[in-house]
A and B are shown apart, each in its own frame.
Chain A
């Protein structure tokens, strides 16, 4: 299947700093990428949908100024957690469909963020 690469897989940062997570589609072009947050033993929570060349669409309750999403190319989307606080500690996962909503949806490996 298609490959979506996400890194870093694990990052620890101090409170108040910013952290950038990258999501790359390695063997297909992704006009759309999704960003999720997952708490332990809970399901995926969609944070935002990023579309190449346009602004991301955020889900209700997700702070767009806190979670900056950039999708500048067809193979790369980034999520920047700005001024991170301990409550932002979580598992963040990206995904990309190979062909809109009719294609297979592939996930990155996930990024575990720990804010001290």
Chain B
């Protein structure tokens, strides 16, 4: 079983839609959770960083962590064509290592 599971998509939504991206994990020691956006041929850009369970909001982005279910989500409200990218989840807390999902490809159609 992989440490982190993420549906690769691709996901295609109309502009203005709410996007839900998710990851599940197996290691209960993970406590730090991150979401990244990666455009083609660019390094991943950190969008959200959360610790333990709960919600965090930043503009159109909301990150949710449910440690009891080992499930994290990223919601994008009022999606824009510029949100079209690959979204990666990542987590840490078990030693000096970070674990990544495979990434979900998102396309927002104008």
Contact = CB atoms under 8 A, between A and B. Distances in A.
Interface of A: 1, 4, 6, 32, 34, 41-44, 49, 91, 93, 95, 97, 100-102, 104-110, 112
A108 B38 CA distance: 11
Contacts, number: 59
Contacts of B95: 101
A105 B96 contact: no
A106 B41 contact: no
B98 A34 contact: yes
Nearest to B101: A43
A2 B48 CA distance: 13
Interface centre among A6, A44, A104 (most CB of B within 10 A): A44
Task: From A43, A49, A93, name the one whose CB has the most chain B CB atoms within 10 angstroms.
Answer: A43
Interface string B37-51: 000011111100100
Nearest to A4: B43
Interface in B7-64: 31-32, 34, 36, 41-46, 49
A104 B43 contact: no
A107 B44 contact: yes
Given A43-B88, A43-B102, A101 B44 contact: no
Given A101-B93, A104-B34, A110 B43 contact: yes
A102 B94 CA distance: 9
Contacts of B90: 105
B72 to A, nearest CB: 15
A102 B52 CA distance: 11
Contacts of B36: 107
A102 B33 CA distance: 10
A44 B87 CA distance: 12
